[in-house]
Amino acid sequence: MNDRIRTDIAHNARVWNYWLGGKDNYPVDRAVGDQVTGFYPSIGEVARADRAFLGRAVTHLAADAGVRQFLDIGTGLPTADNTHEVAQRVAPDARIVYVDNDPIVLTHARALLTSAPEGVTEYVDADAHDPEKILAAAGATLDLSRPVAVMMLGILNFVLDTDEARSIVRTLMDAVPSGSHLVLTHPTLEPELGGEGNKAAMAFWNENATPPITARSRAEFASFLEGLDVLEPGIVSCARWRPVSAEACTVAQFGAVGRKP
Ligand SMILES: C[S@@+](CC[C@H](N)C(=O)[O-])C[C@H]1O[C@@H](n2cnc3c(N)ncnc32)[C@H](O)[C@@H]1O
């Protein structure tokens, strides 16, 4: 086993996999996952809504916005409908770079490297706190002079300092041209999304699991999109971003897509 993998403390990538119904997790992840669900019963729904948002956003970007390059940071363990599968269903020549810093995601990364022959997928083991390293590595696969969809789904919540999180986003978006997009999801405590229940769940998480997490307000989330044209319907519960069904629920996870003008 990779000696970076710790089975004595719950890891976000593995607990997220558990909530999504995956098998790549350990007893400690399932125990903490169940305890968090006790505090915040809709957490599984949040995880599923986040992935469904990913599917709709990537489909829109590939099919309607003509984006052919995706930089998916904090990608998580491989699951159904990974970014390259969604994008290459529309555009087999799409190029995808996945980034995560969790050692177990690295050991499963080959499952993400199943590109259509016309396109490319690559995996980079890097930390979101180091956007320059990510850009340097991504530049080996992506042409950063052409539009890129920078995807940060459920990851800025692990950058605890909001100024630093903004600076990471700015560094990434400054490195890509007009026509590039930023795709975001982020948990919140905002009552308008029913987020109050997240508070105890996050406090429990921060005492029992890794890495530590934070929620953000609507205003903080909006600040990540500053300077971008936010696509319709704006900043909403990710479940309500262009839902396929009129019966979409509301989960306490903001979702939005911004286009660099
Ligand atoms: C909540 S999961 C989201 C996975 C996927 N983006 C999704 O929306 O389904 C967060 C992922 O971010 C990764 N992550 C957390 N902190 C990170 C960091 N500092 N650098 C890179 N990846 C990180 C975790 O390992 C995990 O795979």
Residue 181 has pLDDT above 90, yes or no: yes
Residue 49 beta carbon below 6 angstroms from any ligand 1 atom: no
Residue 107 has a pLDDT of 92
Query: What's the rounded mean pLDDT across residues 95-106?
Result: 96
Q: What is the pLDDT of residues 128-156, one digit of tens each?
A: 999 999 999 999 999 999 999 999 999 99
- Give the whole-angstrom CA distance, residue 136 versus residue 89: 27
Residue 102 beta carbon below 6 angstroms from any ligand 1 atom: yes
Tell me the best of 12, 130, 153 to mutate to test the pocket of ligand 1, counting ligand atoms within 8 Å of each CB and taking the most. Answer: 12
Q: What is the pLDDT of residues 39-90, one digit of tens each?
A: 999 999 999 999 999 999 999 999 999 999 999 999 999 999 999 999 999 9
Residue 195 has pLDDT above 60, yes or no: yes
Residue 248 has a pLDDT of 79
Q: What is the mean pLDDT of the chain?
A: 96
State how far the alpha carbon of 255 is from the alpha carbons of 87, 140, 146, in Å: 19, 29, 24
Torsion (CA) 15, 214, 126, 79 in degrees, nearest 10: 30
Query: Which residues pair with residue 69 across a beta bridge?
Result: 95
Residue 172 has a pLDDT of 98
Residue 127 beta carbon below 6 angstroms from any ligand 1 atom: yes
- Give the rounded percent of residues in the chain with a pLDDT score beyond 90: 93
Tell me the best of 25, 51, 133, 155 to mutate to test the pocket of ligand 1, counting ligand atoms within 8 Å of each CB and taking the most. Answer: 155
Residue whose C-alpha is closest to residue 105's, from 124, 89, 85:
124
Q: Is residue 151 classed as helix, strand or coil in its secondary structure?
A: strand
Residue 127 has a pLDDT of 98
**Cα 12 to middle of ligand 1, angstroms:** 7
Q: Is residue 81 classed as helix, strand or coil in its secondary structure?
A: coil
- Give the whole-angstrom CA distance, residue 84 versus residue 93: 10
Q: 74 and 100 in contact (C-beta within 8 Å)?
A: yes
**Cα 153 to middle of ligand 1, angstroms:** 8
Q: 236 and 221 in contact (C-beta within 8 Å)?
A: no
**Cα 160 to middle of ligand 1, angstroms:** 13
